[in-house]
């Protein structure tokens, strides 16, 4: 966060949390006060204790030994008087953070798979072929690595739709990349990504990336010899379009708060990263749709490397590349769990990657470049993309609101996903015609998954132009991936009788 320091010689006229206030406390102040129960890196805490903080800094008592200059004290008071606006991070942050990763020679820079040179591609094929041939008991084998996602044994590693989702998958990608690096001659290899907003890469349509054959059974439905399955590539492209995956990714990258970037948990709309990820899984094929075996399809690794890239890109953009920076984006009051997984040491584990040899936990995967030495080649066009005012359907009455009459959020709420065995899609229809769709990715044995049971009731959000929903009858169709139970239409009554809500959108800044 120190990258974005406010001026100390002049008062800032319109100070905001993201551009100004969060940078006024240094790491020492933050850790000192965190131990006393006030988190100066967190918006809610600073807002709630602003009066006390002001009195301490104005009296010169804080920070100890290095009191704020009067201009900073005045800036803080202005922020209070203006109603504690959150604002936007400085646009320079992304450029600075990306320059930092390039300046570190030890950084493993992961590239777009379509830009690999022929020798790089050959090395990648060598490594994949070699780990696929390893014995299924070897920790570096493809079989063991892919098995961490769910099958062969039902395990407790389902990290989906929860705050630990991005941290866990970052650790998972590192574990897999290290397995590839265990192959002699591949020690310098980096796992490339598939930018899912671009067509399915040609190279992934042929061996060793086209499919994987199970060397042994992982469940009764997936016996030895099962070959991973995908839809035909034209269908995949059409599905990604129908699910609005690119739109959800772009929306996620305009968000400043952690919950809005992820979407889904703590009441956040389901139309950003987690929605795009789930829809992506459902778009690709029968193997990728089933959480039990998704990681056995080789595309999984390039697909997930991309979600990690987007996580890092967002972090770089909003100044969340270190612990305090990330905490500055979390809504501690409405989303205490996200705050806890980064601040309560008993909740920091990312099993099975917390043990030897990786020793990864939520707090040491945040700074990908400095603590994992992993960075991404990022196209310069992203550097120009802006953050946008937060759009929402409700706000505190103390805030100033702007109503956007051109767009609405259609929300399907109260779907009890435990009743639906496996992944499913939610389609929004107008006069019987599908106008928007979202995917939801989950295991077939959803009732046996503790994480899923804790988050049983789910919602879906469709942010659409008002004219696309006006003047017609809206309805919802829930389509399970697995049609063998109730056919292609899941009855509303069997999944908690969900409701539809339509809201105009508003922004507070
Ligand atoms: Cu996934």
**What is the C-alpha to C-alpha distance for residues 430 and 426, in angstroms, rounded to an integer?**
13
CA of 126 to the centre of ligand 1 (A): 24
Residue 242, burial from CB neighbour count under 10 angstroms (0-12, 13-18, 19+): middle
**What is the C-alpha to C-alpha distance for residues 458 and 469, in angstroms, rounded to an integer?**
22
* Domain assignment of residue 284, yes or no: no
Which DSSP letter does residue 219 get?
B
* Domain assignment of residue 92, yes or no: no
On whether both 314 and 397 belong to a single domain, the answer is: no
CA of 304 to the centre of ligand 1 (A): 6
* Domain assignment of residue 260, yes or no: no
CA of 283 to the centre of ligand 1 (A): 12
Least confident of 77-81, 271-275, 487-491: 487-491
CA of 138 to the centre of ligand 1 (A): 23
Quick check: helix, strand or coil at residue 378?
Answer: coil
Q: Confidence band (pLDDT; 50, 70, 90) for 5?
A: very low
CA of 160 to the centre of ligand 1 (A): 8
CA of 288 to the centre of ligand 1 (A): 8
On whether both 412 and 457 belong to a single domain, the answer is: yes
**Domain limit, last residue, from 41, 56, 87:** 87
On whether both 52 and 139 belong to a single domain, the answer is: no
434: β partners: 429
Q: What angle do CA 43, 45, 48 make, to 5 degrees?
A: 105
Residue appearing with tokens 């490594």: 127
Q: What mean pLDDT comes out for the span 217-245?
A: 96
CA of 11 to the centre of ligand 1 (A): 46
pLDDT for the residue 435: 95
CA of 256 to the centre of ligand 1 (A): 23
CA of 151 to the centre of ligand 1 (A): 14
**Cβ proximity of 274 and 407 under 8 Å:** no
Alpha helices in 149-291 (DSSP H): 165-181, 233-242, 245-252, 258-262, 273-284, 286-289
CA of 255 to the centre of ligand 1 (A): 21
On whether both 419 and 373 belong to a single domain, the answer is: no
CA of 403 to the centre of ligand 1 (A): 35
CA of 191 to the centre of ligand 1 (A): 16
Q: What mean pLDDT comes out for the span 469-480?
A: 92
CA of 278 to the centre of ligand 1 (A): 7
**What is the C-alpha to C-alpha distance for residues 285 and 296, in angstroms, rounded to an integer?**
12
Residue appearing with tokens 């990681």: 295
CA of 194 to the centre of ligand 1 (A): 13
On whether both 117 and 83 belong to a single domain, the answer is: no
Neighbours of 493 (CB within 10 A): 8
* Range from 387-396, 400-409, 442-451, 467-476 that averages highest in pLDDT: 467-476
Quick check: helix, strand or coil at residue 335?
Answer: coil
Q: What mean pLDDT comes out for the span 254-262?
A: 94
**Domain limit, last residue, from 87, 115, 148:** 87
* Domain assignment of residue 262, yes or no: no
On whether both 121 and 215 belong to a single domain, the answer is: yes
CA of 346 to the centre of ligand 1 (A): 25
> For residue 1, is pLDDT > 50?
no
pLDDT for the residue 304: 98
* Domain assignment of residue 193, yes or no: yes
CA of 170 to the centre of ligand 1 (A): 11
Q: Confidence band (pLDDT; 50, 70, 90) for 155?
A: low
Range of the domain at 448: 391-507
CA distance readout (Å), 448 to 158, 190, 268, 282, 502: 11, 35, 25, 21, 33
On whether both 367 and 479 belong to a single domain, the answer is: no
CA of 462 to the centre of ligand 1 (A): 21
Q: Please give the mean pLDDT across all residues of the chain.
A: 90
CA of 9 to the centre of ligand 1 (A): 48
**Domain limit, last residue, from 87, 117, 147:** 87
Residue 67, burial from CB neighbour count under 10 angstroms (0-12, 13-18, 19+): middle
**What is the C-alpha to C-alpha distance for residues 474 and 410, in angstroms, rounded to an integer?**
10
**Cβ proximity of 478 and 425 under 8 Å:** yes
CA of 470 to the centre of ligand 1 (A): 35
| Total domain count, the chain | 3
CA of 412 to the centre of ligand 1 (A): 23
Residue 210, burial from CB neighbour count under 10 angstroms (0-12, 13-18, 19+): middle
> For residue 110, is pLDDT > 80?
yes
On whether both 35 and 116 belong to a single domain, the answer is: no
**What is the C-alpha to C-alpha distance for residues 159 and 355, in angstroms, rounded to an integer?**
17
* Domain assignment of residue 153, yes or no: yes
On whether both 369 and 422 belong to a single domain, the answer is: no
pLDDT for the residue 381: 58
Least confident of 2-11, 84-93, 106-115, 488-497: 2-11
Residue 388, burial from CB neighbour count under 10 angstroms (0-12, 13-18, 19+): middle
On whether both 113 and 76 belong to a single domain, the answer is: no
CA of 64 to the centre of ligand 1 (A): 46
CA of 84 to the centre of ligand 1 (A): 37
Residue 133: give its domain's CATH number. 1.10.1280.10
On whether both 22 and 125 belong to a single domain, the answer is: no
Q: Confidence band (pLDDT; 50, 70, 90) for 13?
A: confident
Task: State the pairing for strand pair 499-507/391-392.
Answer: antiparallel
Q: Which of 26, 25, 32 is nearest to 75 (CA)?
A: 25
CA of 299 to the centre of ligand 1 (A): 11
Which DSSP letter does residue 50 get?
H
CA end-to-end distance (rounded Å), the chain: 22
CA of 454 to the centre of ligand 1 (A): 19
Residue 389, burial from CB neighbour count under 10 angstroms (0-12, 13-18, 19+): middle
CA of 167 to the centre of ligand 1 (A): 12
CA of 308 to the centre of ligand 1 (A): 10
Instruction: Kindly report whether the peptide bond that precedes residue 106 is cis, defined as omega within 30 degrees of 0.
Output: no
The reported pTM is 0.92
**What is the C-alpha to C-alpha distance for residues 243 and 439, in angstroms, rounded to an integer?**
7
pLDDT for the residue 389: 54
CA of 484 to the centre of ligand 1 (A): 24
* Domain assignment of residue 258, yes or no: no
Q: What mean pLDDT comes out for the span 392-402?
A: 71
CA of 306 to the centre of ligand 1 (A): 10
CA of 305 to the centre of ligand 1 (A): 10
> For residue 429, is pLDDT > 60?
yes
* Domain assignment of residue 95, yes or no: no
Q: Which of 139, 116, 261 is nearest to 203 (CA)?
A: 116
On whether both 241 and 111 belong to a single domain, the answer is: yes
CA of 153 to the centre of ligand 1 (A): 18
Residue 451: give its domain's CATH number. 2.60.40
CA of 290 to the centre of ligand 1 (A): 10
């Amino acid at each position: 966060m120190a990258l974005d320091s406010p001026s100390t010689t002049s008062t800032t006229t319109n100070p905001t949390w993201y551009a100004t206030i969060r940078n006024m406390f240094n790491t020492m102040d933050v850790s000192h006060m965190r131990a006393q129960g006030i988190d100066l890196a967190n918006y809610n805490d600073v807002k709630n204790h602003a009066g006390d903080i002001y009195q301490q800094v104005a009296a010169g008592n804080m920070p100890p030994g290095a009191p704020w200059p009067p201009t900073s004290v005045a800036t803080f008071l202005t922020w209070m008087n203006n109603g504690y606006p959150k604002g936007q991070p400085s646009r320079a942050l992304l450029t600075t953070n990306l320059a930092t990763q390039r300046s570190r020679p030890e950084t493993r820079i992961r590239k777009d798979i379509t830009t690999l040179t022929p020798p790089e591609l050959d090395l990648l094929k060598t490594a994949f072929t070699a780990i696929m041939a390893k014995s299924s008991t070897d920790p570096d084998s493809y079989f063991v690595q892919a098995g961490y996602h769910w099958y062969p044994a039902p395990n407790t590693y389902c990290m989906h739709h929860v705050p630990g989702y991005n941290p866990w998958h970052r650790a998972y990608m590192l574990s897999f990349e290290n397995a590839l690096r265990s192959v002699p001659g591949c020690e310098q290899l980096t796992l490339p990504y598939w930018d899912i907003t671009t067509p399915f890469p040609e190279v992934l349509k042929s061996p060793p990336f086209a499919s994987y054959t199970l060397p042994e059974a992982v469940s009764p439905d997936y016996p030895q010899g099962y070959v991973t399955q995908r839809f035909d590539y034209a269908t995949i492209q059409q599905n990604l379009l129908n699910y609005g995956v690119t739109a959800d990714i772009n929306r996620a990258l305009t968000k400043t708060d952690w919950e809005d970037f992820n979407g889904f948990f703590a009441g956040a709309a389901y139309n950003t990263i987690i929605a795009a990820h789930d829809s992506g899984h459902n778009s690709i094929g029968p193997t990728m749709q089933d959480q039990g075996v998704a990681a056995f399809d080789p595309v999984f690794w390039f697909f997930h490397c991309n979600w990690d890239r987007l996580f890092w890109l967002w972090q770089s953009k909003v100044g969340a590349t270190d612990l305090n920076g990330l905490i500055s984006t979390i809504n501690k009051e409405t989303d205490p769990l996200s705050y806890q997984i980064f601040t309560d040491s008993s909740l920091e584990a990312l099993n099975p990657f917390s043990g030897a040899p990786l020793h990864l936990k939520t707090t040491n995967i945040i700074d990908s470049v400095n603590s994992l030495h992993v960075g991404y080649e990022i196209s310069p066009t992203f550097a120009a993309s802006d953050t946008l005012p937060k759009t929402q359907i409700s706000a505190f009455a103390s805030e100033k609101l702007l109503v956007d009459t051109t767009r609405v959020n259609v929300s399907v709420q109260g779907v009890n996903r435990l009743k639906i065995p496996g992944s499913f899609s939610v389609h929004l229809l107008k006069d019987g015609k599908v106008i928007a769709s979202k995917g939801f990715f989950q295991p077939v044995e959803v009732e046996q998954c503790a994480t899923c049971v804790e988050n049983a009731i789910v919602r879906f959000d469709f942010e659409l132009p008002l004219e696309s929903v006006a003047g017609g009858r809206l309805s919802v169709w829930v389509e399970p991936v697995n049609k063998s139970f109730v056919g292609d239409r899941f009855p509303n009554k069997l999944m908690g009788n969900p409701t539809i809500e339509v809201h105009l959108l508003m922004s507070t800044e």
